[in-house]
Amino acid sequence: MRTYTLAVSDPPSSEPAAQPVRVLSLVPLATEARRAIEAVDDRVVLTLAPGWFDGEIRATWGDYVADSYLPAGAAGHGTRDERDALLAEADVILAGFPVPVDLRARAPRLRWVHQTPAGASNLHRCDLWGSDITVSTSRGLGNTLAIAEYVVATFLSFARELHRAPAERSAGAFDRFAYRPVQLAAKTVCVVGAGGIGQEVGRLCAALGMHVVGTRSSAGASVPDGFDHVGGPEELPALLARSTFVAVCCQWTPQTHGLIGTEALAAMPDGTVLVNVARGEIIDEAALVGALDRLRGVALDVYVGEFDHAPPQALWSHPNVLITPHVSGGADVRPGRPVELFVRNLEALVEGRPLDNVIDWDRGY
């Protein structure tokens, strides 16, 4: 463990000593990020503990999550008492995914947690969910361009029928007449959830000459660049009916659980390409299995139960389904915006101002 503390000059004897703001980072931080956090205020005391809780995470989240998200063989650091002491002193925690499930219970001084991922649903298993602690996310500030490129890449793959090539290689023979390529230009794409990720998807699709429509939880705001129209949730069936490409980018909430179900799938024209880069629970997978033969292709970067088990065989084995292990945000370039938001929010915290991107427990994000 490495602790970084700014020097604090002695206060005048007539004034009480300033209380430190103890920030515990469970994620690695580059030198510039550490300096930015420490520079917020003389009272900030930054402690770095990435990887310290890996053993606990494996024990509570299970091997499937640990093998997917933690370095091979990671067992954590320190004793349980030492890790408890870290949490007991923390006023603020900067976390990634996964996190210890009992942060609230072990951190009596805790005032605020910021998680670098965008999705609030990551915390459903954690005792922070619905608690009295302020929790913020990096909603709209993650690697949105990389995710949008994943969407476009899968659109192009299915449009050009590139998914047929591996099967033909295995068979040792081409079937030229099986290819039915389509052009993306002039086709309509429906972006379900025109937020940070969805807006990047719309922008890239518009640059390819596509007509872009979409939905968001509340209509009436300005239409994002590249979109022809953005409506409320009630417009989704009509927008799907005119779209042959669909990108699911919305938050997982009680309102969006199973949103892409029997009705929505029936509204999609035959030959539609469906891509999900949000959360698996937004798609009714049983209904999706029943619709596979009339869809051109389905790309799923997420699926129901991805923290517990492999994808369902009915999806994973279908030749027109591509499933990846939640990697759409990966790239050789990582955005600094989540840490920049953390720094801005830390400034707001010490100054007594409201924080941005705070989770509304009732809304679910």
Q: Which domain holds residue 225?
A: 144-323
Confidence at 14, pLDDT banded by 50, 70, 90:
very low
Give the N- to C-terminal CA distance of the chain in Å, as an integer.
32
Omega prior to 98 cis, within 30 of 0: yes
Nearest partner of 36 among 334, 338, 356, judged by Cα:
338
Predicted confidence (pLDDT) at residue 2 exceeds the cutoff of 50: no
Q: Is 211 a catalytic residue?
A: no
Report if residue 360 sits inside a domain: no
Within this chain, do residues 49 and 136 fall inside the same structural domain, yes or no? yes
Residue 244: CB atoms within 10 Å: 22
Average pLDDT, the chain: 92
Within this chain, do residues 109 and 149 fall inside the same structural domain, yes or no? no
315 or 221, higher pLDDT? 315
Least confident of 2-16, 107-121, 317-331: 2-16
Within this chain, do residues 346 and 257 fall inside the same structural domain, yes or no? no
Least confident of 25-29, 115-119, 190-194, 351-355: 115-119
Select which of 279, 309, 334, 344 is catalytic. 279
Q: Is 279 a catalytic residue?
A: yes
Within this chain, do residues 125 and 229 fall inside the same structural domain, yes or no? no
Within this chain, do residues 133 and 203 fall inside the same structural domain, yes or no? no
Report if residue 359 sits inside a domain: no
Q: If residue 226 lies in a helix (H) or strand (E), which one and from where to where?
A: none
Report if residue 34 sits inside a domain: yes
- State residue 219's pLDDT score: 66
- State residue 312's pLDDT score: 96
- State residue 7's pLDDT score: 30
Confidence at 184, pLDDT banded by 50, 70, 90:
very high
Within this chain, do residues 194 and 286 fall inside the same structural domain, yes or no? yes
* Rounded average pLDDT over 63-88: 94
- State residue 304's pLDDT score: 97
List for the chain the helix, strand, coil content (%; round to 5).
35, 15, 50
Least confident of 14-23, 77-86, 106-115, 182-191: 14-23
Report if residue 328 sits inside a domain: no
The CATH number linked to 82 is: 3.40.50.720
Within this chain, do residues 192 and 204 fall inside the same structural domain, yes or no? yes
pTM exceeds 0.75 for this model:
yes
- Record the tokens describing residue 96, joined without a space: 């990634």
- Record the tokens describing residue 295, joined without a space: 């869809």
Confidence at 220, pLDDT banded by 50, 70, 90:
low
Select which of 106, 326, 337, 363 is catalytic. 326
